[in-house]
């Protein structure tokens, strides 16, 4: 299973991503056929899943968010941990914004499943 997370600036954003999702599924299937990964009986499904529904697909141990707080009990003799790697800045895409000559695909949280025989 794959999960693709999208975060939007506005919580009331209303997007129709049907075409984008269909295009994504077609691309996955096309690449799977070309690399001989797609076998008879396998299917690709994509669906929108809210974060609070992920417990239907993933174990709770993977869903727990780690909260970090400053360690106030550390000894001055302990080895300091390396500095955290900075995260890249968030990318903000306006769904109506298009680059000239380029096709952009915006996908919701997407689940790809294989049907096992």
66 token code pair: 């780690």
Segment 17-37 shows an average pLDDT of 91
CB-based contacts of 15-18 (< 8 A; 24+ apart in sequence): 15/95, 15/106, 15/108, 17/48, 17/106, 17/107, 17/108
What percent of the chain has a predicted confidence (pLDDT) above 90?
12
What is the pLDDT at residue 91? 47
As a whole number of angstroms, the distance between CA 46 and CA 106 comes to 13
What is the pLDDT at residue 94? 44
What is the pLDDT at residue 3? 82
What is the pLDDT at residue 87? 57
The Cβ of residue 113 has, within 10 Å, a number of other Cβ atoms equal to 14
Higher pLDDT, 36 or 85: 36
* Per-residue pLDDT band at 62 (split at 50, 70, 90): confident
Residue 9 DSSP one-character state:
S
- pLDDT tens for residues 70-117? 554 444 455 556 666 665 555 444 444 444 444 444 455 555 554 554
Verdict on whether the full-model pTM lies above 0.85: no
| In the predicted structure, residue 26 carries a pLDDT above the cut 90 | yes
What are the residue ranges spanned by the domains of the chain? 1-8+15-60+105-117
């Amino acid at each position: 299973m794959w999960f693709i997370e999208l975060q939007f600036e506005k919580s009331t954003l209303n997007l129709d991503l049907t075409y984008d999702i269909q295009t994504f599924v077609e691309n996955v299937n096309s690449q799977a056929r070309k690399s001989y990964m797609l076998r008879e009986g396998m299917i690709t499904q994509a669906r929108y899943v809210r974060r609070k529904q992920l417990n239907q697909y993933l174990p709770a141990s993977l869903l727990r968010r780690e909260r970090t707080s400053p360690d106030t009990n550390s000894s001055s003799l302990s080895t300091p941990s390396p500095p955290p790697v900075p995260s890249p800045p968030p990318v903000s895409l306006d769904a109506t914004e298009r680059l000239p000559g380029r096709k952009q695909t915006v996908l919701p949280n997407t689940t790809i499943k294989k049907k096992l025989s």
